[in-house]
């Protein structure tokens, strides 16, 4: 199959941990053609089709640094690929939004895109959990400072975060003393101009923020617990959290099996659920990670499971 990955610059990949790289490596092992472009390469012109203007056909070298060579560069119509895999990292900003519309047009022209562009738009990573309040901790979504203060007064220990962050960016904890609550709210909501999320602090974060993967509606049997280090409250690997793979718990499986088939039916081939203790805190759909960490520590081949699911979905689309 000819696979086109829409992703960040290949030169920026950290191949020892990059999930998109692990997908490419497994696909190449099976003999699939690997093409890559960036969102800014996507172009549509009236009377034509959506193309990747400077798509690169690459060969993987097996090296850690110079990990690919470019076999050719060409304009590639997305509908001429057997599957298009959208792997651009957040933030989900205006340009990401526009890219999903170009990918949606490519779908109308016959392209098979994973995750489905409309599903990416319909499931913003912080707000998607609003549909599943039975699994969430006490949560507030607002731009109103008074509402945040009332939530803090009720719960005493809270987490505040922007809706467009990734990798732990912009996450604050405010304890019972309320120290700096006003300044934090002003910083995050830009003086009332932007909406934020507030959740009750979950002390179970000390045991890790678990990434539970769901592929094609099926639950990966191991998760990655991202454990905060030192005085840090965030477990995100991007801010120094320690990733420890472990079997998923019965509660993890309950949440994943409740959401997995439903989200898969909406066109979300790959979903990353964030679970702290027994509570669902985020639903990640743009470019979920942790494939390599889980595979390396447990021997369960997550990239294989993903490419198996991608092959099935591409044939059915």
Among all residues, which ones are annotated catalytic? Answer: 126, 161, 211, 226, 234, 274, 282, 284
Q: Are 306 and 26 in contact (CB under 8 A)?
A: yes
Question: Token pair of 7, please?
Answer: 């992703």
CA distance 59 to 300: 25
CA distance 59 to 249: 39
Sheet strands (E) in 184-302: 196-200, 209-215, 218-219, 222-227, 242-247, 270-276, 279-284
Q: Torsions phi, psi of 225, nearest 5?
A: -85, 120
- Which run of H or of E encompasses 77? strand 68-77
Contacts of 153 (CB under 8 A, 6+ apart): none
Q: Is 136 helix (H, G, I), strand (E, B) or coil?
A: coil
According to DSSP, the β-strands at 83-86 and 2-6 are parallel
Task: Tally the residues of the chain.
Answer: 317
In 3D, which of 24, 73, 84, 23 has the Cα closest to residue 50? 84
CA distance 241 to 208: 9
């Amino acid at each position: 199959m000819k696979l086109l990955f829409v992703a960040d610059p290949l030169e920026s990949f950290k191949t020892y941990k990059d999930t998109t790289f692990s997908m490419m490596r497994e696909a190449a092992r099976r003999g699939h053609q690997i093409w890559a472009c960036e969102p800014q390469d996507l172009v549509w012109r009236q009377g034509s089709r959506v193309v990747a203007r400077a798509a690169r056909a690459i060969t993987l070298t097996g090296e850690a640094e110079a990990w690919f060579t470019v076999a050719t560069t060409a304009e590639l119509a997305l509908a001429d690929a057997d599957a298009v895999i959208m792997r651009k990292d957040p933030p989900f900003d205006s340009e990401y939004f526009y890219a999903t519309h170009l990918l949606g047009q490519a779908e109308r022209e016959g392209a098979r895109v994973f995750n489905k562009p409309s599903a990416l738009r319909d499931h913003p990573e912080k707000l998607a959990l609003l549909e599943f309040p039975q699994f969430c901790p006490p949560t507030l979504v607002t731009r109103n400072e008074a509402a945040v203060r009332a939530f803090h007064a009720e719960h005493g220990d809270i987490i505040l975060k922007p809706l467009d962050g990734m990798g732990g960016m912009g996450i604050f904890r405010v304890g019972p003393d309320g120290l700096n609550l006003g300044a934090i709210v002003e910083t995050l909501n830009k003086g009332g101009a932007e909406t934020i999320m507030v959740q009750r602090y979950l002390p179970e974060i000390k045991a890790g923020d678990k990434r539970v993967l769901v592929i094609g509606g099926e639950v990966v049997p191991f998760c990655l617990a991202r454990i905060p280090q030192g005085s840090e409250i965030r477990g995100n690997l991007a801010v120094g959290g320690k990733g420890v793979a472990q079997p998923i718990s019965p509660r993890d499986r309950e949440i994943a099996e409740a959401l997995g088939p439903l989200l898969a039916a909406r066109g979300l081939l790959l979903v990353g659920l964030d679970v702290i203790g027994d509570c669902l805190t985020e639903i990640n759909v743009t470019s979920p990670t942790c494939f390599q960490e889980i595979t390396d520590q447990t021997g369960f081949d997550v990239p294989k499971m993903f490419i198996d699911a991608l092959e099935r979905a591409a044939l059915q689309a």
